[in-house]
Chains A and B, each alone.
Chain A
């Protein structure tokens, strides 16, 4: 990956919410990966959070609501809703499953993790507002809106997110169990955050930018993507340090990846990606690239069978 210019890094890193609409999603995705070899410390990531957090209630969805009804086709709306619903429920799921991970690890890790839990709650509210104010889903509570959007969530969502829920339960029995933390971290930080979430961001935000639509969504979701940079960098640092501390833990990463990639082989609904300007093959290549970039940069070697499974990845769009 070519190195980011200092100006682009400064723009992604320092933009306030009101300026973030001018940033290209590709620059934010480059920003996610630019520090993967160095990997900032947990307190450095916490300090970055304090500078970069944003107010989800400052986003103005008025133009988005007009775009939704007046400028988007039915196919575009359906594809967008299907993809965003996986994120809506994914954000809720990770917000709920993260606190148990915070119980273990160093004090620095716990301090950082408190910020990530707040991020995930804020992202859940972002989607709650988007579905109420733009898509027009009804509901008096956050749960009501989740219930209303659930019909758009693919049956295979339960694969990665149910796995995370059960791994959180496993971790709850002993939050300091490093092998359980590594398995959980592989599912959450590497796959859900590092592959699924970033792929959805690239697809939906490229669509918004290219079509000049949904400025409120673009602003909030680009800010969300910048938050994901911290999440992914924390997670990759955690995995790298765990394997350095005990190289046998690499087996836990491999076993978790085997399960995730087996699960990934199932597709229950056809997503009309073409309506958003993407093909199945492009999404497949995007997901493979997202995964391999992280594995290479963090130095996680894979056995041949897992490498083969990665080359067979199926498009899957959810996030959290």
Chain B
């Protein structure tokens, strides 16, 4: 099992969000919902930096996911002293990440502002919100060894 917020874990996350949910998970929601997400994703070429504010040993540290024409093309871990370039920068504390990995609903995490948008246009970001939410759910399903 990869260690949380390491390059190995980031690559497993990239594969998981690029693959998207399996048939069993898709069957739990209406096809129209997935059609909306497929439409939002089709030409998506933005990047997300998802930070953990208080990872042991300091922070913030970011998981940067780069999308190119609907494919998750890059994944990297960006440290607090490294330059960060992303369309949208969102940050949560470690407790929120731990809850996400334990199965907490990512929509609820957003509603309760436990994951906050620190940089990026709010309206543009929300035009892909369900694609983002399902991608964060996919991140939560990647097993990771926590510090």
Residues of A that sit less than 8 Å from B by CB: 89, 93, 150, 155-159, 161-163, 165-170, 183, 255-256, 258-259, 262-263, 265-270
**Residues of the A chain whose Cβ atoms lie less than 8 Å from the Cβ of B113:** 165-166, 168-169
Closest to A255 in B: B123
Give the residue of A150, A159, A163, A256 whose beta carbon is less than 8 angstroms from that of B105: A150
| B8-55 interface (Cβ within 8 A of A) | 29-30, 32-33, 36-37
Residues of B that sit less than 8 Å from A by CB: 29-30, 32-33, 36-37, 105, 107-108, 110-113, 116-117, 122-127, 129-130, 133
**Residues of the B chain whose Cβ atoms lie less than 8 Å from the Cβ of A89:** 111
Classify the interface of chain B: helix, strand, loop or mixed. helix
A158 touches B129 (CB 8 A): yes
**Residues of the A chain whose Cβ atoms lie less than 8 Å from the Cβ of B123:** 163, 183, 255-256, 258-259
B111 touches A162 (CB 8 A): yes
Alpha-carbon separation in the docked complex, A78 to B97 (Å): 33
Alpha-carbon separation in the docked complex, A158 to B127 (Å): 12
CB-defined A-B contacts under 8 Å, sample of 13 = A150-B108, A155-B107, A155-B130, A157-B107, A158-B130, A159-B130, A166-B125, A255-B123, A263-B129, A266-B32, A267-B32, A268-B30, A269-B29
B129 touches A163 (CB 8 A): yes
Taking the closest CB of chain A, its distance from the CB of B38, in whole angstroms, is 11
Classify the interface of chain A: helix, strand, loop or mixed. helix
4 interchain residue pairs of minimum CB distance: A158-B107, A266-B36, A268-B33, A162-B110
**Residues of the B chain whose Cβ atoms lie less than 8 Å from the Cβ of A268:** 29-30, 32-33, 130
Closest to B124 in A: A259
Taking the closest CB of chain A, its distance from the CB of B58, in whole angstroms, is 24
Contacts A166-B122, A166-B126, A259-B123 hold; do A156 and B33 have CB atoms under 8 A apart?
Answer: yes
**Residues of the B chain whose Cβ atoms lie less than 8 Å from the Cβ of A156:** 33, 130
Alpha-carbon separation in the docked complex, A216 to B57 (Å): 55
Alpha-carbon separation in the docked complex, A231 to B14 (Å): 44
Closest to B116 in A: A169
B117 touches A169 (CB 8 A): yes
